Amino acid sequence: MTLKSIAAALSLASLCAASAHAETVAPLTFVERLAQAGSPLTVRSEGFSGPGAAILSEAIDASRYVLIGESHFSREIPAFTTNVCRLMAAGGLETGGLTAMAVETGPEAAVAVNARLRASDREQQMSDFINAHPDVMAFLNGRDEGQTAADCAGVAGPDFELWGLDQEFLGASGYLIEQMLAAGPGPLARAQIEALAEQERTTMQAALASGSPFDFFLLKAADATLDQAGAAIDQDGGDRVRTLFAALRETRAIYQASQARRGDPNGRRARLMKRTLAAHLAEAPQARVLMKFGAYHLYKGYNPLGQRDVGNFVAEHADGEGVQSLNMIVVGARGTEAGYNGVARPMRVREFDAVTGEDSDWRKDVMLARPSNMAPGDWLLVDLRTLRSADLEALTPEWRAIIRGYDLAIVAPELTASTKLGADYAP
């Protein structure tokens, strides 16, 4: 055989070997890539541990804004949030520190919580406040949410406060009217506000008896009545009263639009939250902020409701400042969850299963990606940043939205429902 023939044979053999190797090295499936992106995370009251803890700590340390998109009213996610508060307060972003926690409740409700946040009998004070003003606030009436807020205040220092960004809750009108009267309005405004207070007391009794939030003053009051009060408040109410009355009317408009399924209540609510946050950041431009909202609110880009919500606003704001934000979604795979069940009524508790039940969604894929040797109680942290690649379009729309909208996905194996503060109404 000539040298030329030998070279040709070797070349052909090499080509065949390379071809055979190429056939055996198939691209990773999404499930395999998901498993590679996952890291076990142990969540205990004393802090985080496990491989996922280093990823989480590094991401938090580098960020001025840390956003937790959650499922509401669990016991475990508030405890997770307390650990995040500790990390933010202890270090990172040059000198560390935690200025505020922005929450999914109204500004006035947050002021009321801040006033009681560091009291030795905080829980009793909050229960008394909620009993006096049924359905005055969302989420911060939860026992575990309140404890997390107090714990965060404890580790962050005396200047820490809650920032309520949302509209006020359905039962807040009585409290808002009380605050208007306490602000010292002039005689014209006072007469009108006192008339509103009388109507509010009547509607509150009706709402307590029926359990229906649609019986609240916020939704029962006539436009003409509010217009008349607004005209008087414009004349001699003063700035504080005008602010409170504007909050009442904006809250009413959002709930009315949602009830009637007209207009753009989700967009209006998102724009309100952005304006409120922008006002806080203008007053404290160097603030380091933790945010805790329902998961739909904290997506980057468009969320599943087609809104560019406050999570996108924060991500863009951070880009403009030249700093980092961390958007993470923190949810459970199965367990029990609590929800609203009527005016001053016990919470509705239901079981959910996002792995095998009718609630099955992207969390099923995450649970299937858990390592076989992983401790049953450990959470799984998925670094979504590693999954952003050219083949993203091959994934399901749900996964594309999660990967583009969040940086980290953290899934607890099980959640348990929290309870609320205040006495339940007994008809």
* Cβ pair 417, 336 in contact under 8 A: yes
What's the pLDDT at 223?
97
Q: What is the pLDDT of residue 263?
A: 87
Q: What is the mean pLDDT of residues 388-404?
A: 89
Q: Could you tell me which residues come within 8 angstroms of residue 327 by beta carbon, excluding any fewer than 6 positions away?
A: 67, 69, 298, 299, 300, 311, 314, 315, 405, 406, 407, 408
- Asked if the model's pLDDT at residue 76 lies above 80, the reply is yes
pLDDT in tens, 46-70: 999 999 999 999 999 999 999 999 9
State the pLDDT at residue 122: 97
Tens of pLDDT, residues 349-375: 999 999 987 778 999 999 999 999 999
User: SS3 of 293, please?
Assistant: strand
Which of 187-191, 204-208, 214-218, 354-358 has the lowest average pLDDT? 354-358
With 90 as the cut, is the pLDDT of residue 335 above it?
yes
The per-residue pLDDT for 365 is 94
Q: Is the pLDDT of residue 427 over 90?
A: no
Q: What region, left, alpha or beta, does residue 96 occupy, with left being phi > 0 and alpha being psi -120 to 50 degrees?
A: left
Read off the pLDDT of residues 286-309 as tens digits, 9 standing for 90 and up: 999 999 999 999 999 999 999 999
What does the mean pLDDT of the chain come to?
92
Q: In the prediction, which pLDDT does 7 show?
A: 47
pLDDT of residue 398: 94
Q: Is the pLDDT assigned to residue 94 strictly greater than 80?
A: no
The pLDDT, as a whole number, for residue 14 is 53
Beta-carbon contacts of 150 under 8 Å, excluding residues fewer than 6 positions away, are 117, 118, 122
Q: Which of 179-183, 187-191, 230-234, 422-426 has the lowest mean pLDDT?
A: 422-426
* Structure confidence at residue 21 (pLDDT): 52
The pLDDT assigned to 24 comes to 60
pLDDT for 393 equals 84
The CA-to-CA distance between both ends of the chain, in Å, stands at: 103
pLDDT exceeds cutoff 60 at 9: no
List Cβ<8 Å contacts ≥24 apart for 183-186.
183/238, 183/240, 183/241, 183/244, 184/238, 185/233, 185/236, 185/237, 185/238, 185/241, 186/235, 186/236, 186/237, 186/238
C-beta separation of 421 from 129 below 8 A: no
Name the pTM for this structure: 0.91
In the prediction, which pLDDT does 11 show? 53
Task: State how far the Cα of 405 lies from the Cα of 363, in Å rounded to an integer.
Answer: 15
Separation of alpha carbons 161 and 111, rounded Å = 9
Percent of the chain with pLDDT over 90: 85
CA neighbor of 408 nearest in space, from 317, 334, 326, 331: 326
Which runs of E-coded beta strand occur in 299-364?
325-332, 334-339, 348-353
Q: Looking at the predicted structure, is the pLDDT value of residue 410 above 50?
A: yes
Q: Which residues, including other chains, have CB under 8 Å from residue 234's CB and lie 6 or more apart? A: 242
Q: Is the pLDDT of residue 150 over 80?
A: yes
List strands edge to edge, sheet with 408-412. Answer: 47-49, 38-44, 379-383, 408-412, 325-332, 65-70, 289-294, 100-103, 161-164
- Residue 368 pLDDT: 92
| pLDDT computed for residue 6 by the predictor | 44
Cα 82 to Cα 90: distance, rounded to the nearest angstrom: 12
Distance from C-alpha of 88 to C-alpha of 361, rounded to nearest angstrom: 31
Residues 60, 52 contacting (CB under 8 angstroms): no
Average pLDDT value for residue range 260-276: 95
- Give Cβ neighbours of residue 254 (< 8 Å, ≥ 6 apart): 167, 265, 268, 269, 272
- Rounded to whole angstroms, the Cα distance separating 277 from 174 reads 25
Tell whether the model's pLDDT for residue 20 goes beyond 70.
Answer: no
Question: Are 243 and 207 a contacting pair, CB within 8 Å?
Answer: no
* Residue percentage of the chain with pLDDT more than 70: 93
Listing DSSP states for 351-392 in one string gives: EEETTTSTT-SHHHHHHHTS-TTS-TT-EEEEEGGGG-SGGG
pLDDT score at 106: 98
Residue 96: pLDDT band (50, 70, 90) is confident
**Amino acid at position 187, single letter:** P
